[in-house]
């Protein structure tokens, strides 16, 4: 069974995030969402990387994109809602 290129990117980004390499994860995930714009897992990792470097408004938008691509992803809906609350956008 052949692995898809986006699966390899997902593993690399997850490894960088797990290792605390947020800036590297952000660079790679930014590339990944441009290369595979309809892959919700990549958008979720991009959001996580953005959040890790303090770019919360952009992270919220990336979570929104991930949820738009995968509406059944309830954890993403919840995380996006938490970021809205943190930003004071909703009570």
pLDDT tops 90 at residue 83: no
Residue 25 has a pLDDT of 97
pLDDT tops 90 at residue 20: yes
Residue 90 has a pLDDT of 64
Mean per-residue pLDDT for 45-73? 91
Question: Model's pTM, two decimal places?
Answer: 0.84
Q: How far apart are CA 60 and CA 44, in angstroms?
A: 10
Mean per-residue pLDDT for 36-44? 93
Q: How far apart are CA 13 and CA 64, in angstroms?
A: 19
């Amino acid at each position: 069974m052949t692995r898809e290129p986006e699966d390899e990117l997902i593993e690399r980004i997850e490894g960088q995030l797990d290792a605390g390499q947020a800036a590297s994860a952000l660079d790679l995930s930014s590339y990944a969402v441009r290369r595979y714009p309809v892959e919700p897992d990549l958008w979720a990792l991009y959001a996580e990387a953005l959040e890790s470097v303090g770019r919360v408004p952009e992270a919220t938008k990336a979570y929104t994109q991930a949820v738009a691509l995968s509406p059944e992803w309830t954890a993403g809906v919840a995380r996006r809602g938490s970021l809205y609350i943190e930003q004071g956008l909703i009570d």
